[in-house]
Amino acid sequence: MSLDLTIRDLVVKTREGRSLLTVERLDIPAGSRIGIRGPSGAGKSTLLFAVAGLLKPASGTVAWGKHLVSDMGAAERARFRRENVGLVFQDFLLFEELSSLGNAAIAARYAKRSSRRRIVESARAGLARLGLDTLGGRRVDSFSGGERQRVAVARALANDPAIILADEPTASLDRASADLLIDDLAALSSETGRTLIAVSHDAALHARMDLVIDVVDGRPLV
Ligand SMILES: Nc1ncnc2c1ncn2[C@@H]1O[C@H](COP(=O)(O)OP(=O)(O)OP(=O)(O)O)[C@@H](O)[C@H]1O
Ligand SMILES: [Mg+2]
């Protein structure tokens, strides 16, 4: 099923009731590669959290195809994410004591028994594709920043998600590692028709996107 993103009259507020993000209308066809940029504190991560189903908006709708994420409770949103979304976040959130495969295949621990083998195989293939298959069983706390970031990408892809959401995926990398990761993300999206939405300050990343959206003062300029 095709997961077009449709946002209408979305408002995200703090607990105290202050508005963090307002999106009157945003339509992103399935398979698009979208860059998000803007000043610090503008609301970019908040937008990514809202489309990921990581928060409950104060009002308005966020829908991926028929999935009305903004109406879902926390448990339903968690299930939607497990089945459809690969998240690549700034500070990785890797499990330090596990190997690259242990991390990339972490979804297998929470999946139905019948799909575990598929997730592990897909994680293994993802690591190989990202050039990490030579690192063997080493704990990821011994990996470089670039290696860790690629483990995070392999993990996000292991469950074959239709949607990849990345928050500053190249922030802690040197230019060469960042360029490799951008190539990987762009290719992974274009080959498979996955939707990619990436928040970044990196002009090289935005150059590879179909559309770049500026977020200023809690509003995307579209
Ligand atoms: N749960 C929250 N409660 C209160 N304020 C919040 C909350 N989450 C975010 N904010 C505030 O909302 C604003 C937007 O935050 P957000 O993290 O979306 O910014 P950003 O555009 O991703 O910035 P950066 O480029 O620095 O990562 C910031 O001022 C932030 O402090
Ligand atoms: Mg942010």
pLDDT in tens, 141-171: 888 888 888 888 888 888 889 999 999 988 8
Ligand 1 near 200 CB (within 6 A): no
* Model confidence at 172: pLDDT above 80: no
Report d(CA 166, CA 156) in Å as an integer: 9
Which atom, in ligand 1's list, is nearest to the CA of 48?
18
Taking CA atoms, 38 is separated from 82, 146, 168, 191, 192, in Å, by: 28, 24, 12, 28, 28
DSSP assignment of 88-126 equals E-TT----TTSBHHHHHTGGGGTS-HHHHHHHHHHHHHH
For residues 168 and 200, is the Cβ–Cβ distance under 8 A?
Answer: yes
Q: Write the residue with the smallest CA distance to atom 6 of ligand 1.
A: 14
pLDDT above 90 as % of the chain: 52
Write the CA distances from 194 to 32, 33, 70, 119, integer angstroms: 7, 8, 21, 17
Domain boundaries, the chain: 5-221
**Domain 5-221 in CATH: superfamily?**
P-loop containing nucleotide triphosphate hydrolases (3.40.50.300)
Cα-Cα-Cα-Cα torsion 85, 92, 157, 162, nearest 10 degrees, comes to 20
- Closest C-alpha among 158, 166, 169, 171 to residue 197: 166
- At 38-47, the pLDDT tens digits run 999 999 999 9
Q: How many Cβ atoms from other residues are within 10 Å of residue 219's Cβ? A: 17
62: nearest Cα among 187, 197, 210: 197
Inter-CA distances, 35 with 38, 47, 118, 211, Å: 10, 12, 30, 6
- The residue with tokens 């690969």 is 86
pLDDT of residue 170: 87
Q: 114 CB less than 6 Å from ligand 1?
A: no
For ligand 1, atom 13, name the residue with the nearest CA: 41
pLDDT at 29: 96
Strands 33-37 and 59-64, sheet pairing: unpaired
List, for residues 184-216, the tens digit of each pLDDT value.
Answer: 888 888 888 899 999 999 999 999 999 999 999
Q: Which residues contact 101 (CB under 8 A, 6 or more apart)?
A: 120, 123, 124, 127, 137
- Measure 178 CA to ligand 2 centroid, in angstroms: 18
Which residue has the CA at smallest separation from atom 4 of ligand 1? 14
Read off the pLDDT of residues 48-62 as tens digits, 9 standing for 90 and up: 999 999 999 999 999
Neighbouring C-beta atoms of residue 144, cutoff 10 Å: 11
The structure's pTM equals 0.90
